[in-house]
Amino acid sequence: MVAEVSLTAVMVVFGMSVVTFATKAGGFWAIDRIEPGQSTRDALDALPGGIIVSILTIRLLEGGPAEWVAGIVVVLVARSTENVLIALIAGMGTLVLVRWGRTGF
């Protein structure tokens, strides 16, 4: 608990920060150096959706029925309001209500 900071630990943290920045900056660095053709631009357009779909697939799978119900509410509210914040609040509210309902609060 004392303020004794291990030099090795700090060096490892430094190493972690270097490789992390390499990944955050490296993709843009590489693509900035080539003039991408039409198919590369198409691929880059599809990339964000593909990444988000992949993240969501596993997150929803690991969640339970309460998350799925709340997720449907998020999608419906986002579609009708086109507002991320309102959709977020509606989803969180639904999740809390469903969880309370299930635990018999």
Subset of 68-97 contacting another protein (CB under 8 A): 70-71, 74-75, 77-79, 82, 84-85, 87-88, 91-92, 95-96
| Cα separation, 77 vs 19, whole angstroms | 39
> What DSSP state is assigned to residue 2?
-
Instruction: Check binding of 105 to another protein (CB under 8 A).
Output: no
With vertex at residue 53, the alpha carbon angle to CA 52 and CA 59, rounded to the nearest 5 degrees, is 90
- Taking CB under 8 A as the rule, does residue 103 contact another protein? no
Segment 1 to 60, residues that bind another protein, using CB under 8 A: 3-6, 8-17, 19-32, 36, 38-39, 41-60
